[in-house]
Every structure is written in structure tokens, then in C-alpha cells.
Amino acid sequence: MSPLNPDNPRMNDDELADLRARLDTLQGPDFWRSLEEFAGTEAFHRYLQRAYPRQASAWNPAMDRRAFLSLMGASLALAGLSGCTLHQPREQIVPYIDQPDGLTPGRPQFFATAIPHNGYAQGALVTSREGRPIKVEGNPLHPATLGRSDAWMQASVLSLYDPDRSQAVVHLGQPGTWDDFFQALTAQMTALQATRGAGLRLLTGTVTSPTLAAQIGAILAQYPQARWHVWEPVGRDSVHAAARQAFGTEASTLYRFDQADVILSLDGDFLLSLPGHVRYASDFAARRRVRQGQTAMNRLYMLESVPTITGAMADFRLPVRTSRIPEATATLARALGVTVPGGYTEVLPEAWIRHAVADLQAHPGASIVVAGDHQPQEVHVLAHAMNAQLGNVGKTVVYTDPVEANVTMQAGSLVELVRDLQAGQVQTLLMWDTNPVYTAPTDLDFAGALSRVAFSAHLSQYEDETSALCQWHLPETHILEAWSDARAYDGTISLIQPLLAPLYATRTAHELLEAVRLKPSRSAHDIVRDAWQSRRNGEDFGLFWRKTLHDGLIAGSAAPPKNVTLLPNAVTALPPAPAASGLELQFAPDPTIWDGRFANNGWLQELPKPLTKLTWDNALLVSPKTAAQWNLNRQMDTDGRHPNRVDSIAIRAGSRRLTAPVWIVPGHPDDAVTLTLGYGRARCGRIGTETGVNAYVVRASDALWFVPDVEITRTGETYPLACTHTHHTMEGRDLIRVSDIAEFRRKPDVIHEHERAPERPESLIPDWRYPNEAWGMSIDTNVCIGCNACVVACQAENNIPIVGKDEVERGREMHWLRIDRYYTGSLNQPQGTYFLPVPCMHCETAPCELVCPVGATVHDRDGLNEMIYNRCVGTRYCSNNCPYKVRRFNFFHYAGGQPDPDKLNANYDNPIIKLVANPEVTIRSRGVMEKCTYCIQRIQNARIDAEVENRPLRDGEIRTACQQACPTNAIVFGNINDPNSEVARAKAQPHNYGLLTELNTRPRTTYLARFTHRSQEEAG
């Protein structure tokens, strides 16, 4: 446990061996969180540094005259907004709940809509307060969400009120108007009519909207020479290509995880990245929930190139580089009896294959082989073949017609567009829902090609990289202000209705396309409504319209299962794999800001990434072994401003290079580095600009997901990263308890074996009695997938400010709910990765209450530990005495944008942002403590309702924000006095335990233990 030796900061092989030896001696509940398992391993961390991205922004929003003018104009326009002039859309929209006489002031309304993610609709139910949407939940009727949500849905309200959103038309850098644009467009289109649309190109993201597709179709019919290109940086080309290769027809694959006993994931992050991930997470968890007498669990095998939350849930996980996944898949397929022509290297351990294959074969028709979208089409074809071989098709794996309106090879489509651009064959380019200047493969030089277009217009919510290079930038309506429709992963069609009239002079893509058809005056409402009216001939359209808006979806619109058969020669030889020796650069969508579209969302920027717990930056992720080979360093600034200052390294892929900081991730495959997309934005607003490293600059059209044989060089520079968990080990404390399910079946109290003290020591003082309700929470760590939906939901519900990178580095993040992450096993191949959400425990004998000198934190009659903000004087003693460290302190006036008003867009003093605030939750001022309240505002609302209706509170009537958002139902809240409540039943489970109960805190929040399903023994 030698301290860091400054003379020799590098860990040599002996030390590494020593470290491994020490790790091997760990037994039982010796969990570790990462590489600092022992104090000595601090020397192990070596990281790199990197300067800020070179593309220094030429556009400084604070200085720019035009930005100043537009902000000025907006603030004048919005000065009234913060008063009472905010209005609902002019058109009729339908509240979800039964509202007899319209809006009751002070009562929220709920509207069903849908929020597309990567093009696929996710059914949402939005809470609206006096005409302003403040909270997004899943729509319980919607198959993609089932009332659940993810972090992106939760954060979408903040984007709506982002003051950096584009608010006006910009023409060649000068303010313009929509009328100017329509005039110019009309002239352009009139000219195009003569050439039947030659030179007219559309570039979009994935489109699933039937109405939009119909509009595009109409344009293409009117202008037969026009072309429609699609580019999505996190695209699904290989999925579509594989379907064509395997079945000879277009097909989408849906999975029924609720019916699968054994799942083999080939780098498929179905819990966070695949379309329908919220539903998949819910289905997956349904087969993992353990209760007494119900101990059957599914089993997940996973090959993973980039550690994801899906891999964290796997019972058997192998880190495999992206380039090796095809070989690994082929090995598995062959073992399953699929004929794979050609030769390849077998890269998987034989025992692993045997185990997985035997298990899959033992569950025919009840297993799933799922491949990651980014994997090459051969892998998908093999997955189809394996599913067919296992008899899963039609049972756990269902094929449908594609949901996308234009199933095209996007990369090819984009290449084609660029080629035509460069050839000068494109006169008119209209783009929306895409940002190709930033996201297009770097070899295409989209920016250069774009400059050759005579008429380019870009509809987007931000004046971004692409807008800057177009003649026309058009401000786009946010999805919560827009009329539209979209299809979910399974084809279900949702109508998207606005929650409020557009805040700015923005338009939707529908309106833009109508303008292309020379009908610029039609509103999106009319367009969408008319489109549906024409489709719904002969029925009571009014009723249909109202019901669809109310429900948020068209019942029965899911794509029907499609009968497809595997073509006999579908499985072809694998493409040659790159040389085994080289270092590989892998790309992945970012778990918080995805492909960069959420870069200006402060909630998502400050959201700790599920596994690395980094905020505000991406980093090159490497395995501990590879990092050791590179002698990477991690150090602290002497002034402590940057406790995680890591080495930056330069990566060179052919002629392209970038410099990025390095972060070590246990379980990352060796000889590979991963960089997530979405960072290094040059123009996206004040939050997202100058965060992280732009991965797109090394991403080429022929190597979208990995670049083989990259070279690295140390730069000698360092870069500070903001990590919310600076200490990574659990120090042998049994904070998360894990057991194998077989052991649990034999010994139901297995997880209590290591407890040091009784949960409730003898006392002469009688227990305090709670005659009414006693609120409690149970968190099932066995189904917690660490997806962060709860964290953002809590932030949205409780007006939790963001604090900025510097303050996170200082250790002052404000999240009331944090998700701890632990590892077991060896450094390079952790056996398990576990998540532990930690909200306030609401201890019955709360240590915080004892020490508060002014009684600002007290118990209420239901046993809640309450925080009285306006009594708090800020001694912070309560936080010191809280063993769970769940209290958060306003060191600055964070809610007012302090300490850096320019960088924080969650500043509730801002007239626009303040609209997002939940009026039922106090905005905390500087100098007061805050923490999880169990969403007391929701408790009180339900109680008032119950009292008005003169009935007792019902179980399940109150749902906390985290509970409501959780896609896997891991969080249960309710009255523990009622033995029949769900929470009381959860707490009665033998695997229920409390954190640090030996301190006699008697927490009201307890946990259900995590189980692995590694032994082959099945439930009796």
C-alpha cells in the first residue's frame, strides 16, 4: 500500500502483478468500484491530457452582436412570458385525464404525446402546469414505454426552455424572417419545377412519421428528379442490410425479453441503445425480479466491446473488441449448428462457448440472440440464423415490416449526396433533424461539399455547425410545441400534440415541407390532421382524433408480425478481420448526450455516465491492462481544483488525429480504446460548447464504428475530468449485497450472513409510533440497470440545479439521488458490475436531525425526514453526520446560475428556464441544505385528493418521481404500516437489507439484494 512515489509514478510489471495478486486474495463481499481498489493503485491510474478541442469557437455567444440582439429581443419578448401571457396552443388539444371544465388553476394537466429518440417514438405523458410543460413521464398505454421513461425523455423539458435555442431565421448570418425564406423558397421551387426537381435534395434523420413520409412522398412525386437522403450518426444500416441478406426483404426485429429464459447479446446494448430500450428494460427486468418463492431468473450472456449497462446486468460477460465480435459470433453460431462458411479465428474461451451454447439449446423457443445495431451485417445475419436455429422466431423474436419511412443505407446515401454536392449537381438542399457538418464521416468533408450548393436551408433547434454553413438557418419547433406523428420501435403510431404554443417563431418540418409544396401558410396541426382525416375515411374522425390525442397512440397500429424465412444461402463468410495486433479505436453513442444532439442540455451534461461516472466530458476509455502498458498517469492538481487530472494521448488513424484524455474502465476489452460520440461541439449553445472531444473527426464512412490499427502517442499533457465518484473501491463494506440465486434458494438469509450488528438493537425507549402512514421505499438492486432515468426524473421534479464542471470537480454536484456503481472480480474482467441507487434513507433515528442547531431537519408524523429550507442556516452539520452522504448543499446560489451564470442553463432566475420549474417545489437559495424528500409534494397531493374524496390513501397512488421513471420498476414506494402494500411486501422479503444498519439509523429506504444467475441449477 505504498503511497504514490513522485519519482517513479509509473507502475511496473511487478507492481501490477502484485496488484493482481492482491485482488485475487479478495473474498466474499470484497467489492471494488474501480482501479483504486487499494490506496497503492492510485499509481496505476495514468491518464492523459488534452487541450480543449482545437476548433475554438469563432462564435462567442456572449460577445457576438447578432446573438446579443437576438437574446435581447427574446428577453424583451419573454419578459411577459414569465407573467401570465403564456398560452396554450390555439388548436384544441385534449387532456389525458378527465377534466370536466378545463383547467383548474393549481392542478396539473396531463397530455399524451410522443418524444422521438433517434427517430423512434417513445410514448410520453407530459405534466402541464398552467400551460407550461414541466415534466415528462412515459405513457402507460404506449408499448414502447409502458409508463416508464429514460433520461432523455426526462430531460426533454429542459431543452424546450433552453435559452440558447434558435429563435429566429438567419440568412447568410443576418437576421431574416420566415416570409423572406418562403419567398426565396418559392422562387427556388418554381425554378425547380422546370427541371422536375433535378438538383433538389432532402437530408433528414430517421423519419418514422407517416405524415412527414407522405409529404416527402408527395414532393418526390411532384419532383421526380429530387432525392431524399437520410443520415443518422447512430444509424441502423447493418440491421436493414442484414434483413435483406437474410430474408430477401426488409424486416425489423422485435424481441420479447419477457418470454426469454436465456439471452445472448452480441454487443447489443438493448437496455439503453436499441429502439424500444425502455420497453426492453421493463421486459428484461420482469424476468429477473426475485421474490420469495419466485426465484426464476433469465440468464444473460454478453459479448461486449464497450462496457454498457446491459453488460453490467450480464451473468456471463466477455469483453471482446468490436472487430472480433463477428468471429466470436461465428464461433457461437457454428457451435449452435449454424453452417458458417469460410475460415476465421476462434476468439472465445471454449468453456464459455460450451456453457452458453448448452444453455441456449436447453431453451429452444425461449431464448434470444440479439446483436448490437452497430455490428456489421454478418453478425446480424448470424443472429437471425441462430434465432431460427433455436426456434425463437415467432416466439421471442418477431419480425415486422420496418418502421422507418425510408429504409436506406444511410452511409451510402450520404456518400452519394456528398458526391453529387461536390459534382455541383445539387442546387437546393433542405435539411432537418440532422447536423451533418458535425456528424458526417470526416472523410466526406461535408462542410466543403455544402459550400457548393446554391440554396441550402437547415431547420434545427440550435444554430449549429450545419446552420452556420447554410444560406438559411430555420428555427425548429421543439417536439413539445409541435404537431406531428411518429412510430415506435414496434410500429405503433403516436400523435404528437403540443403542450404549448411555440415559444419562438419556429416551424416544424411539416410546415417546411408544405412550403416546399408552395403552401407555406398551412399549420402543422392542419397538415397532420388532414393527413389523418384522409387516411381515416368513413369513420367518425372527430372521435378518432380526440381518442388518439387522449391516448397518445392509435390502438392496434403496431406493425403486424411478418413471416420471413431465412434464405438458404443467407449466411456468408465473414469479412476479413483486421490484424489481431493493432490497437483499435471504437465509437459508441454517449450514454448521456447520445450523438451530440443533447449536448446543450445541462441535466444530461451533468448526469454521471452510468459506468464511468464522468460528467461534462467524454474520454478515451481503456482497459486497465492496456492503460498499464501505456504507463498512463492520473494526478491531482496541487491546488485541488482538478482532482482527476489525467493524461491526454494523441490518437492517429491514418491522416486523422485527435487528442483526448484517457479514463480506465474495468471490463473494457484490451488493445482497444473507446470514444463516445457527441462531444466537442463547436456551436451548440453555452452549455455544450467546449465540452469533451469530437470523435467524429476520426470517424470515416468506411469505419463508422471502429478504426483498426490506430497509433497513440503520449502528449505529455493532462486534462481535468469531472468524476462524481473519485474513490472507486467499497473498502470491503457490505453496501451492496450480491449472491448467486442458487445459493439464495438454499439459504434465503444468505445476504444477512456478514452483518455485524442486529438491525434493531434492544432499547429501553419504546419505538415512536406512526398511527397513520409510515412512508418507506424499497429499491430492488437486482433489476436496477443503472440507466439514470431516476436521476434526471428527480432533477426535473425537484428543481435541482446543475452546478457546472468546476463544481462537480469540487465535489458539489446536487443530485438528490445518485447511483453508486461497484465491481467484483478481477480488474480486467470484472465478474460483475452492480448499481446501487442512493436517495435519502429517511432514517427513523436520523443522525442529521440530532445535530441541526435550529431544527431545520425534523421528522414528520409519517416518519419522513423533512428539510425546512427557510429555517436552515447552513451549518452543514447534518451532512457531516449523515452516513449515507445524501445531503446536498447550496454552496453558491446554484439555482440562480451561480457561480458561472454564463455556463449554466439551469438557472432558475432566467425568465425562460424558470418556466421548467415545478411550482410545487421550492427553489432553494444559497446557503441551505437540501435532499431527497420522497417527493413530498406528490404525497401531499394524493393525501389532499384522498381527504377530499373521504377515503384512505390507496397503495400505489403515490409514486415518487424516481419510481415513476424507472423502466424496470426497481423502486417501490408506499406505506409500510400497511402489510399488504407493495413496499411492505418487498421489505418482508428475506433478501431485504438496509444500508449501514449497524449504526442504528433504521433507514426507511431499504434494498433488495442483487442476484447473479451463474449456477445451472434451476428454480424448483
Partner 1 sequence: MADLERLEQGHGLDRPAPVLEPGQTFASVEEKISDLVLKRPLHPGWLFGFGLAFAVTMLLLYALTWLLIKGVGIWGVNIPVAWGFAIANFVWWIGIGHAGTLISAILLLLNQKWRTSINRFAEAMTLFAVACAGLFPLFHMGRPWAFYWLLPYPNTMSLWPQFRSPLVWDCFAVGTYFTVSLLFWYQGLLPDLAAMRDRARHPWAHVVYGFLALGWRGSAIHWKFYETGYWLLAALATPLVVSVHSIVSMDFAVAQVPGWHSTIFPPYFVAGAILSGFAMVLTLSIPLRKFYGLEAFVTQRHLENMAKVLLVTSLIVAYGYAEETLMAWYSGDPYDWYIIVNRAFGGYGFAYWLLLACNVLVPQTLWFRKARTNIAWLFVLSLIVQLGMWTERVVIVVQSLHRDFMPSAWQTYYPTFWDWATLFGTIGLFAALFFLFIRVLPMISIHEVQELAHEAEGARAENPDVGKIAGAEA
C-alpha cell at 100: 370536466
Whose Cβ is closer to partner 1: residue 2's or residue 345's?
A: 2
Which of these segments, 148-156, 455-463, 500-508, 721-729, binds partner 1 (CB under 8 A)?
Answer: 721-729
Cα 317 from Cα 439, distance rounded (Å): 31
Nearer to partner 1, 541 or 877 (CB): 877
Residues 467-486 that bind partner 1 (CB under 8 A): none
CA dihedral 129, 133, 134, 136 (to 10 degrees): 120
- Cα 406 off chain centre by: 25
DSSP structure string for 874-925: ---HHHHH-TT---EE-SS-GGGTTT-TTT-S--TTSTTGGGGS-TTSPPP-
The 982-1011 site mask, x for binding partner 1 (CB under 8 A), equals -------------xx--x------------
Provide the minimum distance between the beta carbon of 925 and partner 1 in the complex, in angstroms, as a whole number. 8
Q: Letter for the amino acid at 817?
A: L
Integer Cα distance of 55 and 605 in angstroms:
20
- Considering only residues 912 to 931 of the shown chain, the ones binding partner 1 according to CB under 8 A are 925-929
Between 36 and 464, whose beta carbon lies closer to partner 1? 36
Task: Look up residue 36 and give its three cell numbers.
Answer: 483504486
The contact mask relative to partner 1 for 609-638 (x = CB under 8 A, - = no) is: ---------------------------x--
Q: Which of 95, 131, 582, 899 binds partner 1 (CB under 8 A)?
A: 899
Please say which residue, 48 or 895, places its beta carbon nearer to partner 1.
Answer: 895
Contacting residue, 5, 82, 195, 726, with partner 1 by CB under 8 A: 726
Contacts of 152 (CB under 8 A, 6+ apart): 115, 117, 594, 598, 604
Give yes or no for a cis peptide into 899 (omega within 30° of 0).
yes
Query: How many beta carbons lie within 10 A of that of residue 338, not counting itself?
Result: 21
What is d(CA 864, CA 943) in angstroms, rounded to the nearest whole number? 15
Report the amino acid identity of residue 398: V
Q: Which of 301, 446, 489, 884 binds partner 1 (CB under 8 A)?
A: 884
Q: Which of 52, 541, 544, 877 binds partner 1 (CB under 8 A)?
A: 877
Binding segment (CB under 8 A) for partner 1, from list 279-287, 791-799, 870-878, 900-908: 870-878
Can residue 892 be called a binding residue for partner 1 (CB under 8 A)?
yes
User: What stretch of H or E contains 533?
Assistant: helix 524-535
Of 87, 196, 419, 727, the residue at the interface with partner 1 (CB under 8 A) is 727
Asked if 898 touches partner 1 (CB under 8 A), the answer is yes
Q: Is 761 in the site for partner 1 (CB under 8 A)?
A: no
The reply on whether position 595 binds partner 1 by CB under 8 A is no
- Considering only 108-116, 448-456, 792-800, 878-886, which stretch makes contact with partner 1 by CB under 8 A? 878-886
Which of 196, 419, 519, 885 is in the footprint of partner 1 by CB under 8 A? 885
Residues 881, 937, 977, 992: which binds partner 1 (CB under 8 A)?
Answer: 881
> Binding-site residue total for partner 1 (CB under 8 A)?
65
38 forms part of the interface with partner 1 (CB under 8 A):
no
DSSP state of 629: H
Interior CA angle at 636 toward 722 and 3, to 5°?
A: 130
Min dist CB 927 to partner 1, Å, is: 3
What is the smallest separation between the CB atom of 854 and partner 1, expressed in angstroms? 5
The span from the CA of 942 to the CA of 268, in Å, is 40
Quick one: which of 91, 102, 141, 208 has its CA closest to 545? 91
Q: What does the buried/exposed string (b/e) look like for 590-626 if buried means 16 or more CB atoms within 10 Å of the residue's CB?
A: bbbbbbbbbbbbbbbbbbbbbbbbbbbbbbbbbbbbb
Amino acid identity, position 909: D
Stretch that binds partner 1, among 151-159, 209-217, 515-523, 883-891 (CB under 8 A): 883-891
Cell of 69: 440582439
Subset of residues 787 to 826 that bind partner 1, contact rule: CB under 8 A: 807, 810-812, 818, 820-821
Query: Does residue 466 touch partner 1 according to CB under 8 A?
Result: no
H-only helix segments in 287-347: 309-313, 325-335
Quick check: 876 binds partner 1 (CB under 8 A)?
A: yes
Among 554, 619, 735, 971, indicate the residue that binds partner 1 (CB under 8 A): 735
CA atoms of 819 and 779, how far apart (whole Å): 12
Which of 554, 730, 867, 958 is close enough to bind partner 1 by CB under 8 A?
Answer: 730
Here the cell at position 285 is 427486468
Is residue 583 within 8 A of residue 709, CB to CB? The reply is yes
Distance CA 645, CA 663 (A): 10
| Shortest Å, Cβ 926 to partner 1 | 5
The correct pick among 102, 542, 853, 1020 for binding partner 1 (CB under 8 A) is 853
Q: What one-character DSSP code corresponds to residue 375? A: S
| Cα gap 934→778, rounded to integer Å | 12
Q: How would you class 837 by CB atoms within 10 Å of its CB: exposed for 0-12, middle for 13-18, buried for 19 or more?
A: buried
Quick check: 679 binds partner 1 (CB under 8 A)?
A: no
938 makes contact with partner 1 (CB under 8 A) = no
Give contact residues for partner 1 (rule: CB under 8 A). Answer: 1, 3, 33, 39, 636, 639-641, 643, 725-733, 735, 807, 810-812, 818, 820-821, 836, 838, 847, 850-855, 871-877, 879-881, 883-885, 887-893, 898-899, 925-929, 995-996, 999
